[in-house]
Chains A and B, each alone.
Chain A
Amino acid sequence: MDDLTPLRQQWLDRIKSAADPAAIEDVRLAALGKKGEISLKMRELGRMSPEQRQTTGKALNALRDEIDTALRARKAALDDAALEARLAGEWLDVTLPGRPRPQGTIHPVSQVMDEVTAIFADMGFAVAEGPQVETDWYNFDALNIAPEHPARQEHDTFFMHRAPGDDRPPHVLRTHTSPVQIRAMQDQGAPIRVIAPGRVYRMDMDQTHTPMFHQIEGLAIDRDISMAQLKWTLEEFFSAFFGTRVKTRFRASHFPFTEPSAEVDIQCSWEGGTLKLGEGEGWLEVLGSGMVHPHVLRSGGIDPDAWQGFAFGMGIDRMAMLKYGIPDLRAFFESDLRWLRHFGFMPGDVPSVAGGLNR
Chain B
Amino acid sequence: MKFTFSWLKEHLDTRATLGEITEALTDLGLEVEEVSDPAAKLNSFTLAKVLEATPHPDADRLRVCRVLTDEGEKQIVCGAPNAREGITVVLAKPGDYVPGIDTTLAIGRIRGVESHGMMASERELELSDEHTGIIELASGEVGQKFTDWLAANAPEKIDPMIYIKITPNRPDALGVHGIARDLAARGLGVLKPVRETRILPAFPCPIKVSIDADVSDKAPFFSGRVVRGLRNGPSPEWLQKRLRAIGLRPINALVDITNFYTYDLNRPLHVFDAAKIEGDLTLRAARPGEQVVALDDKTYSLPEGCVVICDRNGPESIAGVMGGAVSGASDETTDVFIEAAYFDPISTAATGRALKINSDARYRFERGIDPNFTLHGLDLATQMVIDLCGGEASEVVTAGAIPDSDRAYRLDPARTTSLVGLDIPAVTQRATLSALGFRLEGDMAHVPSWRPDVLGEADLVEEIARIASLTRLEGKPMPRPQPGVPRPVLTPLQMREKAARRQAAALGYNECVTYSFIDEAAATLFGGGGDALRVDNPISSEMTHLRPDLLPGLLAAASRNQARGFADLALFEIGPVFTGGEPGEQATQLSGLLVGASAPRDPFGSRRKVDIYDARADAEAVLAAIGAPARAQVNRKLDGWWHPGRAGNIALGPNVLATFGEIHPRVLRAVDVKGPAVGFTIHIASIPFPKARTASRPALELLELQSVERDFAFVVDAQVEAMTLVNAAQGADKALIQSVSVFDQFTGLDDGRKSIAITARLQPRGKTLTDAEIEAVSRKIIDKVEKATGGTLRA
Contacts and interface: CB of A to CB of B under 8 A. Distances in A.
Interface of A: 96-97, 99-107, 109-110, 114, 117, 121-127, 129, 131-135, 138, 148-151, 153-154, 158-163, 170-171, 173, 191, 193, 199, 201, 203-205, 211-212, 220, 224-229, 231-233, 235, 249-254, 256, 259-263, 291, 293-295, 308, 332-338, 340-341, 344, 346-348, 350
Nearest to A117: B490
Given A203-B537, A250-B471, A227 B420 contact: yes
B541 to A, nearest CB: 13
A162 B534 CA distance: 9
Interface in B478-492: 478, 480-482, 486, 488-491
Given A104-B509, A260-B470, 5 more contacts: A123-B478, A131-B586, A232-B475, A252-B470, A347-B503
B511 A337 contact: no
7 contacts: A124-B481, A148-B366, A211-B539, A229-B476, A250-B471, A250-B473, A259-B461
B560 to A, nearest CB: 7
Contacts of A114: 498
A141 to B, nearest CB: 14
Interface of B: 26-29, 31, 167-170, 345-346, 349-350, 353, 366-367, 418-422, 456-459, 461-462, 465-466, 469-471, 473-478, 480-482, 486, 488-491, 494, 498, 501-517, 531-540, 543, 546, 554, 557, 560-561, 564, 566, 569-572, 575-576, 578, 581-586, 599-600, 602-604, 606
B513 A133 contact: no
A99 B571 contact: no
B516 A233 contact: no
A253 B511 CA distance: 37
A346 to B, nearest CB: 8
B419 A336 contact: no
Nearest to B28: A252
Contacts of B510: 104-105, 337, 340-341, 344
Nearest to B477: A232
Given A171-B583, A212-B516, A260 B366 contact: no
Contact of A254 (B29, B350, B457): B29
B458 A294 contact: yes
A161 B576 contact: no
A159 B544 CA distance: 11
A226 B470 CA distance: 12
Contact of A100 (B470, B475, B586, B602): B602
Contacts of B488: 121
A1 to B, nearest CB: 56
Nearest to A97: B602
B22 to A, nearest CB: 12
A339 to B, nearest CB: 10
B790 to A, nearest CB: 41
B581 to A, nearest CB: 5
B504 A104 contact: yes
Contacts of A263: 31
Given A225-B478, A347-B505, A133 B583 contact: yes
A131 B490 CA distance: 17
B471 A251 contact: yes
Nearest to A193: B481
A267 B761 CA distance: 67
B346 A148 contact: yes
A106 B466 contact: no
A256 B459 CA distance: 11
Given A161-B536, A171-B581, A232 B470 contact: no
Nearest to A149: B168
B490 A229 contact: no
Contact of B491 (A106, A121, A127, A131): A127
Nearest to B556: A335
A105 B506 CA distance: 8
Given A97-B602, A104-B504, A294-B456, A252 B465 contact: yes
